[in-house]
Amino acid sequence: MRVGILTAGGDSPGLNAAIRGFGKAAIGAYGMELVGFRDGFTGLALNRAVELPAAALSGILTLGGTILGTSRDKLHKLSLDGQVRDMTTQAAANVRANRLDAVVVLGGAGTAKNAKRLMDAGVNVVMLPKTIDNDIVGTDTSFGFATAMEIATDAIDRLHSTAHSHHRVILAELMGHRVGWLTLGAGISGGADVILLPEIPYDVDNVAATVHSRIERGSAFSVIAVAEGARDVHDSAEYAEARAMVKSAVTSTERKAAKAHLAVVESAQREHTFKLAHELERATGLETRVTILGYVQRGGSPGAADRMLATRVGAAAAAMVNDGVFGVMAGVHGNAVEPVPLSDVADRTKTVPLDHDWISTARKVGTGLGD
């Protein structure tokens, strides 16, 4: 068998480990040939193919990023020469031209939608779940998440020193898109005093009350972990209403107007963490500072947990390809890696359930959640 492989969406620790895990199993255990495509689905649409012999997989286990490059481009909306084109059919044609029996794609929620489009075009597809956000349905976790949580936890640890020394409130903004898994996990692990999540709209007065109660107990500082998608009660309602308008739009004109309105709302709320910092400084009388971790959370060498996970998922995906199991994602369920239909994954998001053990744990140890 000849199999193509590509990485799509944002970069993440463990991508190279997963390429290696799949490639070594595919070549060594099943005698397959491996072909890589550079820069995500763009590379597949433009046929940027490169042969990947076993030697090309040597030494990449510990490397951050992806040796194949990546992009967030969508197959059905690919910008080429100033024009937006649907390149799904061309991508499928390139699969046939390269005599590929299947294509393996590594990515997150957006990648799942592109993978399903490719599947619907007649291509045998297997997806490997990658994201630091941990927001992919059908899998307990995804490679990249554990390493990002370690990095974010370390940052929160370090911010405690400055917050304590200067009697300040420090807000650490973490990634996670529209879900709070990363912020919740790192916030608990790093001992954040308040954790603010997209799933729980916060009230500024409640956050200030938590800071005040700490001051009364003799702790004249606070460290607050803020998810990039977190919003206060008012902004959350405005954002939810704007998204609902997009979903309920019927005509293309209505949809275009609704998306334009949503973009305005998102732009106005983009610096919500700085807004919260100003409000808390006024409410508490403590100097308040903001640290935005940004892409630091996605870079560097993957930790041991992600190397293990990526290798397991990659090897399991090679077995699925060998067995002719296609149109699926290699989902992690406990100690097993099992096929999950792409139709169950695409266009869905795994948010933090309000009754999740991590939420109850945070409350039990006295962490404020802003509600």
Q: Alpha carbon of 229 to those of 95, 202, 254, 263, 271: distances in Å? A: 37, 12, 25, 14, 11
Question: How do residues 268-277 score in pLDDT, each as one tens digit?
Answer: 888 999 999 9
264 in helix, strand or coil? helix
**Residue 43: CB atoms within 10 Å:** 25
Pinpoint the residues of the chain covered by CATH 3.40.50.450. Answer: 2-144+302-344
Q: How many Å apart are CA 192 and CA 225, to the nearest integer?
A: 6
Question: How do residues 315-336 score in pLDDT, each as one tens digit?
Answer: 999 999 999 999 999 999 999 9
Flag residues of the chain having pLDDT under 50: none
CB 72 within 8 Å of CB 39: no
Identity of residue 39: D
Chain centroid offset of residue 146 CA: 11
Strand duo 194-196 + 78-80: pairing? unpaired
Nearest to 4 by CA among 72, 105, 87, 73: 105
- According to the model, what pLDDT value does residue 79 have? 87
**Strand ranges across the sheet with 33-37:** 49-51, 33-37, 2-7, 102-107, 125-129, 328-333, 336-341
Crossing angle of helices 272-284 and 204-216, rounded to 10° = 50
- According to the model, what pLDDT value does residue 81 have? 82
CB 301 within 8 Å of CB 183: no
Contacting residues for 364 by C-beta, under 8 A, at least 6 apart: none
At the topology level of CATH, where does 2-144+302-344 sit?
Answer: Rossmann fold (3.40.50)
Verify whether residue 133 is a known catalytic residue: yes
CB 332 within 8 Å of CB 141: yes
**CATH number assigned to the domain covering 147-298+353-364:** 3.40.50.460
Which value, in Å, is the radius of gyration of the alpha carbons in the chain?
22
Question: pTM (2 decimals)?
Answer: 0.93
Q: How many Å apart are CA 309 and CA 17, to the nearest integer?
A: 9
CB 184 within 8 Å of CB 358: yes
Which residue of the set 11, 73, 133, 306 is catalytic?
Answer: 133
Q: Alpha carbon of 186 to those of 130, 161, 193, 362: distances in Å? A: 18, 17, 12, 11
Place of tokens 């939608």: 113
Burial zone of 41 (CB within 10 Å; 0-12 exposed, 13-18 middle, 19+ buried): buried
Nearest to 92 by CA among 67, 60, 115, 112: 115
- Residue 243, token pair as written in the block: 């998204």
Pinpoint the residues of the chain covered by CATH 3.40.50.460. Answer: 147-298+353-364
- According to the model, what pLDDT value does residue 270 have? 87
